Structure 1
Amino acid sequence: MERWDRVGRCAGYGAALAMAPYLLIKVSWVVGSLLGLAPIGEGFNLAGWVLLNTVTIGMAGIGITLALALVRPWGMRAPGWLVAFCAWTGAGFLVSILPYAVLSTLLDAGHDGATNSGGDDSAMPGWEGALIQFSFIGMGLGLALALPAYLRRRWPEAFTARVGDDSRAAVPWAAAVAAVVGLVWAYWAVGGTLGVAHPAQRDTNGYLLTGLGALWALAGSAAVRVLARQRTTRGSHRLLLALGWLGSGSLFTWSGWRLPITLFVALAHPDDVTQPENLAIAAVLHLAAVVAGVGMLRSLVGSRPRTLAGTSPTSPHASELG
């Protein structure tokens, strides 16, 4: 077994273990609230609180299953499209957010502030927040190491090929839309107020999240455009694939998560929730980001690769994603 493969397998098991505390905490919140033994999060009724945490329990379970699929033999037999989609969304959620987790933790420590990593209850005990933060960071790091090793085992041609002349996957509109979304977010991240309805509601963490979203949108857009132009070497091809994968996944998952929240705030007008951005503009951007993310993924997995040496890229798994 190659060293890189051993590292990937250890990382997969580590990711599954790291997510376990988050899963147990969320289960305890649901059971405790139903039995009247645990408080309900601020701004929620019992039904909404149970629904939200049940959804996150399901997401944690999928994350643990994905981590194990990347290292166990049955993961190689699972449907390729299912593993790829879960890996894409998981990486988009967790790997892309790792810089924010590190920077926000440092900023909170510098200001002697408590970190609310879960985002569900501002009154959670400090040890719960620390465990949730550990779960997110551990899962993200584990996926970052285990996923490439799995992809290299299952679809080795993706690491030795570039987009061929017969590619049907180049989607320039998706990269262009992602670039526009990224530029708007970058403008907001540096303090721009056009399209911001409540500037006073913005804080440091909000700037960081917006800036990080802009970074991944622009990086993913640039990577997909370069790949579509077929101007890559073997080394740059791998880097561009990683940037395109994470950029498109970040656009799809985070905007897919925020879009229904933005629509709910716009329609229900809850008294205790105020978003800084103009809700109509934010909703349009999130919708555009979701569509661009899907289009960029189509560009990455719908290609017909050919090896740099000119040999055939045929493999038993070559058609699973196309």
Structure 2
Amino acid sequence: MERWDRIGRAAAYGAAAALVPYLVIKVSWVVGSLLGLLPVGRGFSLGGWLVLNTVTIGMAAAGITLGLALVRPWGMRIPGRLVAFIAWVGSGFLVSILPFVVISALVNSGSRTGGSGGSGSSGGDAAMPGWEAVLLQCSFVGTGIALAVALPAYLRRRWPHVLRRPERTPTSTGPLWPAVTGAVTGLAWLYWAAGGPLGIAHRDERPANWHVLVGVSACWALAASAAVLALVRGRSTRLPYPLLLAPAWLGSGSMFAWSGWRLPATLYVALAHPSDVSYPENVAVAVTLHLTAVLTGAGIMRTLVRGHRGRLSVPAERVGGRL
């Protein structure tokens, strides 16, 4: 246990450190754009570019704070719901980014596609230097891997109950609708990723990266749907509880985070009609799917939390969590 705890603490510092290059690059983009030293991203006005990158700066700062909170003494005193929410959203972003980076690199043979097509990019454009793209990807990959080790270690210290099956199945009386809507959304995205034309307005504007990211999102949506369905129907006895909890947690976070990010971007393109940006999807269909995904992700998370109500408020000293 002590060895695992030491590894988890080192990983928490690593997660915070991995996001520093991302934060520095984003700050440089904002400052450079304000001073006229760097170009504004394709499809954005100066104001929109500054807003987008300021938001991502805040997200990076929150990620660094989360990494430090998983290891520093003050992290054990932060309200459990706040820690859980930030970790859930952050994990949702990262579990889609990690396979996306790997698969898209293979699909594109190392080339970088800068298309907007709903890819959920962080705001760069085709003129980004290669070294910046590498640093950004390393930040995401490093943070994702480090948090995968640091977060369970933190949970073991603060709330060891959460990783064990509760006496009452957390979703034994939960609703089925999140599993149904998650499956429908995942199947729709999988259909698009496979090249399906229904719901696509611009068939020629689907770069390889778009197919990869939509496919990854589809897989996480389907995994979360299957996991929560197994819990709701009481079919979780054959698998260890963490093996069902993990895909439900990560998949719901992926749906909530990524669709929550894409939804305002899609609405912006629909309302502002920028001349050099268009999404492959039909706007009405895309908005409907993203809104459904956000509600589904929140519904799955609420279902899981109901089974652990009161567990996240157990003081650390009562569960053997020492610093």
Same fold (TM > 0.5): yes
Alignment deviations for residues 145-186 of structure 1 (CA, whole Å, 9 cap, x no partner): 111111222211122224616858612111111111001111
Shift of 1:142: 1.3
Deviates more, 1:277-286 or 1:155-164: 155-164
Q: 1:33-112 to 2 correspondence within 5 Å?
A: 33-108=33-108, 110=109, 112=110
Partner of 1:2: 2
Could you say if the C-alpha distance between residues 202 and 101 of structure 1 is closer, same or farther in structure 2, counting changes exceeding 3 Å? Answer: same
- Asked if the contact 2:113/2:209 (under 8 Å) is kept, the reply is no
1:213 and 1:31 map into 2 onto residues whose CA distance is 33
Tell me the residue number matched to 2:32: 32
* Alignment of 1:295 onto 2:299: yes
User: 2:271 aligns to what?
Assistant: 267
Q: In structure 2, do the counterparts of structure 1 residues 28 and 271 end up closer, same or farther at CA, with 3 Å as the change threshold?
A: same
Please give the alpha-carbon distance, in whole angstroms, between the structure 1 residues aligned to 2:92 and 2:169. Answer: 29
Do the aligned partners of residues 282 and 246 (structure 1) sit closer, same or farther apart at CA in structure 2, a change above 3 Å counting? same
Q: Distance in 1 between matches of 2:242 and 2:129?
A: 42
CA distance in structure 1 between the aligned counterparts of 2:226 and 2:58, rounded to whole angstroms: 33
CA distance in 2, matches of 1:235, 1:71: 30
State the TM-score, normalizing by the size of structure 1. Answer: 0.90
Residue pair 1:252, 1:291 contacting (<8 A) in 2 also: yes
Determine what percentage of the aligned residue pairs are the same residue. 60
Unaligned stretches of 5+ residues in structure 2: 115-120, 319-323
Partner of 1:192: 196
- 1:251 is the counterpart of 2:249: no
Q: Give me the whole-angstrom Cα distance separating, in 2, the residues matched to 1:166 and 1:154.
A: 20
Match of 1:113 among 89, 111, 114: 111
Letter in 1 for 2:92: G
Residue number in structure 1 paired with 2:118? none
RMSD of the TM alignment (CA)? 2.4
Deviation at 1:224, TM superposition (A): 0.8
Structure 2 distance, partners of 1:2, 1:96, is 31
Shift of 1:28: 1.1
Partner of 1:133: 137
Q: CA deviation at 1:38?
A: 2.1
Question: Could you tell me which amino acid in structure 2 is paired with residue 153 of structure 1?
Answer: R
For residues 220 and 170 of structure 2, the distance between their equivalents in structure 1, rounded to whole angstroms, comes to 28
For residues 254-291 of structure 1, give each alpha carbon's deviation from its aligned partner in whole angstroms, at most 9, with x where no partner exists.
Answer: 00001111111122222111111111011000000000
Deviation of residue 19 (structure 1)?
Answer: 0.4
Q: Is the 8 A contact 1:174 1:296 kept in 2?
A: yes
Correspondence for 1:175 among 179, 189, 199: 179
The reply on whether 1:214 has 2:212 as its aligned counterpart is no
- State the Cα distance separating 1:304 from its structure 2 match: 4.7
Cα separation, partners in 2 of 1:139 and 1:314, compared to 1, 3 Å: closer
Pairs aligned (count): 311
1:279 aligns with 2:277: no
Partners of 2:105 and 2:170 lie apart in 1 by 46
Residues 57-88 of structure 1 show CA distances to partners (whole Å, capped at 9, x for unaligned) of 11100000001111112111100000000000
Whether the 8 Å contact between 2:220 and 2:250 is mirrored in structure 1 is yes
What SS does the corresponding residue of 1:31 show, helix, strand or coil? helix
Preserved contact between residue 163 and residue 304 of structure 1 (Cα < 8 Å): no
SS in 1 for 2:36: coil
**In the alignment, which residue of structure 1 is the partner of 2:321?**
none
User: Alpha-carbon deviation of 1:40?
Assistant: 2.0
Q: Deviations over 1:202-225 (max 9, x none)?
A: 121111111111100000011111
Letter in 2 for 1:68: L
Deviation at 1:51, TM superposition (A): 1.5
C-alpha deviation, 1:44, in angstroms? 2.2
Q: SS state of the match for residue 21, structure 1?
A: helix
2:165 aligned with 1:144:
no
Shift of 1:123: 0.5
Secondary structure (helix, strand or coil) at the match of 1:302 reads helix
**8 A contact 1:164–1:304 mirrored in 2:** no
Question: 2:34 & 2:273 partners in 1: Cα distance?
Answer: 27
Amino acid at match of 1:193: P
Aligned CA distance change for structure 1 residues 185 and 34 (closer, same or farther; 3 Å): same
Per-residue deviation, residues 230-252 of structure 1 (Å, max 9, x unmatched)? 33349521011000000100000
Q: Which moved more, 1:96-105 or 1:84-93?
A: 96-105
Alpha-carbon distance, 1:43 to partner: 2.4
Shift of 1:3: 2.5
